[in-house]
Structure 1
Amino acid sequence: MGSPSGPPYDPDDPDRERRERDTEPIPRIGPEDGPGPGRDRPDDPFFSDDVGYGDGPYGEGRSGRSWVRDPESGYEPPPQITEDELAGLRVDASGLASGSRRVLPLEDEPSSLTARYLFPTERFRGEWKRHWIHLATPIAVGIAATFVLGYLSGFLAGQDVGALTTVAVLLWFAVMGWVAWRVADWWYDRFILTNKRVMVVNGIVTRKVAMMPLARVTDMKYEQSPAGRAFNYGTFVLESAGQDQALREIKNLPNPNELYLRVVEEMYEPAAVEARLTKQAEEAKADDGA
């Protein structure tokens, strides 16, 4: 006699036992069903129905009970996430990461040297002098000239050759004047970033201003030699859609990774920059009011 919804009962059916076995309900296993992880302790909630997902030994779950796992059972407790790891995932009301930032704070105002090249609707984002390694050659030449010409002047003075001694001293002054010129040129050489463009301004007597709109930058990279990684400087290479580029390669820029993040953020996330600046201004105003 078969079931109303199944095939007729056949005692000789070879698959009958398998079908009956497959349709048997799976028994629930509780603490009272024998030894095993959590079964030898009546109060162990290992197989309890009221244990919520997420209960664990590191905190209370939805049921308020601890989740005890035996190491021999093959189950592992949920992973722990430290506060430092969570800090980079949390966001504030503006949608920005509230953890430690990788981009340094932006400058408030441009210097007088830079301000003259900015138009009123442009937002200033920062200016940088080239790394001190840019002066390595002039300084090395000045030190070498001081030692060599100083020794030569002393030697010529002992030989009673006054004219040659004077020439050596004048030559030293000329070398040091060239070094001073290179230092002054380094001081007035600036890399400038705004919300519209990047610029390089250099020159003492003849001023040169090269710029590239951020909207035209199609590719940007920076390169660091072993010395650049050791002293934290690099060379930026900018590619644009046009063939003639007034600004393509900028050498010896300091903190290239931080500067790279600054430019990329300005290119792709200008709203995030504005939100961060607004938040900083509000915090500064609150601190001043306090």
Structure 2
Amino acid sequence: MGNPSGEPPEPEDDDERRRRERDTEPIPRVRPDDGPQFGTGPDFSDGPSYSDGPAYSDDIGYAGSERRAGTRGWVRDPDQGPEISEEELAGLRVDASGMPLGPRRVLPLEDEPTSLVARYLFPTERYRGEWKRHKISLATPLLIGLLATFVLGYLSGFLAGQEVGALTTVAVLIWLGIMGWVAWKVADWYFDRFILTNKRVMVVNGIITRQVAMMPLLRVTDMKYEQSPLGRALNYGTFVLESAGQEQALREVKYLPNPNELYLRVVEEMYEPQAVEARLGKEAEEAKADDGA
């Protein structure tokens, strides 16, 4: 449409004209193949393509991996399998019998039982180990003996100064009785054993009257061990065994040393007895080979 007044349009200033030209200028479209463009700034087209992820030189690639077109970064070849460290691989290596060749999480088993335990094993039973209770079980009697020594010693000296010989003799006899009780507790701790075989678990205790409690491994339906904060610090725990929901004489065994190690041994004997036999056979062969060398 023309100007209705017929008057010529007023001339535009330079700033207004430049602003109008800038607003009407078409916006250039950038194709993905052109790479990032930043106007008159530095050209990044020769650098790595951001759509393909970070670029790596050919000498820094991952083992068993390759750079594939249309993918992000390095892609591991499926035929190579997952990456496994040497430490993990050592734990997965097995021999012909299926036994792991890597380091074991349990210590070697003892070869022969002591004379105290051997009398309670039948000929076809395989001995796996025996353990005394943790020394923390002696804390109470030893503390009582120490306290009695100080108290009765002071009392005996005081009574001797008062020239009361009869009472001094009584204090000494009381002290001897307490120390005899402490010695009895120490001897009872020494003869108390937790025993593991390929057939059962046993607890043997008693000095004059011997007590033998046992539970077949096949009848153990549940087993756990508990550790208090002090038990975790001193490495002892309490074993709790369940058998078909019945109350057993061997249900709870306290103050067992190295409970995690012992737990692994019992569980392995329950669920992988063939593996235990194969490992023991292999260890025996290696021992013979070392003796022969």
Match of 1:213 among 198, 216, 240: 216
Question: How far has the Cα of 1:155 moved from its partner?
Answer: 1.3
1:116 and 2:125 correspond: no
Letter in structure 2 aligned against 1:191: F
Provide the C-alpha distance between the structure 2 equivalents of 1:182 and 1:127, rounded to a whole number of angstroms.
20
Question: How far has the Cα of 1:166 moved from its partner?
Answer: 1.0
Question: How far has the Cα of 1:77 moved from its partner?
Answer: 7.1
Provide the C-alpha distance between the structure 2 equivalents of 1:56 and 1:289, rounded to a whole number of angstroms.
49
1:154-211 Cα offsets, whole Å, 9 max, x none, are: 1111111111111111111100000000000000000001000000000000000000
Q: Which residue of 2 aligns with 1:75?
A: 73
**Aligned residues of 1:129 and 1:253 also touching (Cα < 8 A):** yes
Provide the C-alpha distance between the structure 2 equivalents of 1:249 and 1:181, rounded to a whole number of angstroms.
23
**Aligned residues of 1:128 and 1:191 also touching (Cα < 8 A):** yes
Match of 2:168 among 149, 165, 169: 165
Provide the C-alpha distance between the structure 2 equivalents of 1:177 and 1:112, rounded to a whole number of angstroms.
26
- What count of residue pairs does the alignment treat as equivalent? 237
Superposed, 1:62-211 pairs within 5 Å as: 67=66, 74-76=72-74, 81-211=84-214
Letter in structure 2 aligned against 1:57: G
Q: Which residue of 1 aligns with 2:61?
A: 57
> What is the TM-score with the length of structure 2 in the denominator?
0.74
1:22-42 Cα offsets, whole Å, 9 max, x none, are: xxxxxxxxxxxx85659xxxx
Question: How far has the Cα of 1:68 moved from its partner?
Answer: 6.9
Query: Structure 1 residues 147 and 45 mapped into 2: Cα distance closer, same or farther (>3 Å)?
Result: closer
Question: How far has the Cα of 1:46 moved from its partner?
Answer: 8.7
Q: Which runs of 5+ in 1 are unaligned?
A: 1-33, 39-43, 48-54
Provide the C-alpha distance between the structure 2 equivalents of 1:76 and 1:194, rounded to a whole number of angstroms.
53
Query: Structure 1 residues 289 and 58 mapped into 2: Cα distance closer, same or farther (>3 Å)?
Result: farther
Q: Which runs of 5+ in 2 are unaligned?
A: 1-44, 50-54, 77-81
Q: Which residue of 2 aligns with 1:29?
A: none
3-state secondary structure, aligned to 2:92: coil
Provide the C-alpha distance between the structure 1 equivalents of 2:113 and 2:102, rounded to a whole number of angstroms.
28
Provide the C-alpha distance between the structure 2 equivalents of 1:56 and 1:94, rounded to a whole number of angstroms.
40
Question: How far has the Cα of 1:85 moved from its partner?
Answer: 2.7
Provide the C-alpha distance between the structure 2 equivalents of 1:261 and 1:208, rounded to a whole number of angstroms.
26
Q: Which residue of 2 aligns with 1:223?
A: 226
1:31-63 Cα offsets, whole Å, 9 max, x none, are: xxx85659xxxxx9999xxxxxxx97355x5xx
Give the number of the structure whose alpha-carbon radius of gyration is greater: 2
**Aligned residues of 1:56 and 1:77 also touching (Cα < 8 A):** no
**Aligned residues of 1:56 and 1:68 also touching (Cα < 8 A):** no
Provide the C-alpha distance between the structure 1 equivalents of 2:101 and 2:67, rounded to a whole number of angstroms.
34
Provide the C-alpha distance between the structure 2 equivalents of 1:143 and 1:94, rounded to a whole number of angstroms.
56
Question: How far has the Cα of 1:91 moved from its partner?
Answer: 2.1
Runs of 4+ in 1 over 6 A off after TM superposition: 44-47
**Aligned residues of 2:67 and 2:73 also touching (Cα < 8 A):** no
Q: Which residue of 2 aligns with 1:21?
A: none
> What is the TM-score with the length of structure 1 in the denominator?
0.75
Provide the C-alpha distance between the structure 1 equivalents of 2:72 and 2:162, rounded to a whole number of angstroms.
93
Q: Which residue of 1 aligns with 2:254?
A: 251
**Aligned residues of 1:56 and 1:67 also touching (Cα < 8 A):** no
Question: How far has the Cα of 1:76 moved from its partner?
Answer: 4.6
Query: Structure 1 residues 45 and 113 mapped into 2: Cα distance closer, same or farther (>3 Å)?
Result: closer
The CA RMSD measured in Å over matched residues stands at 2.7
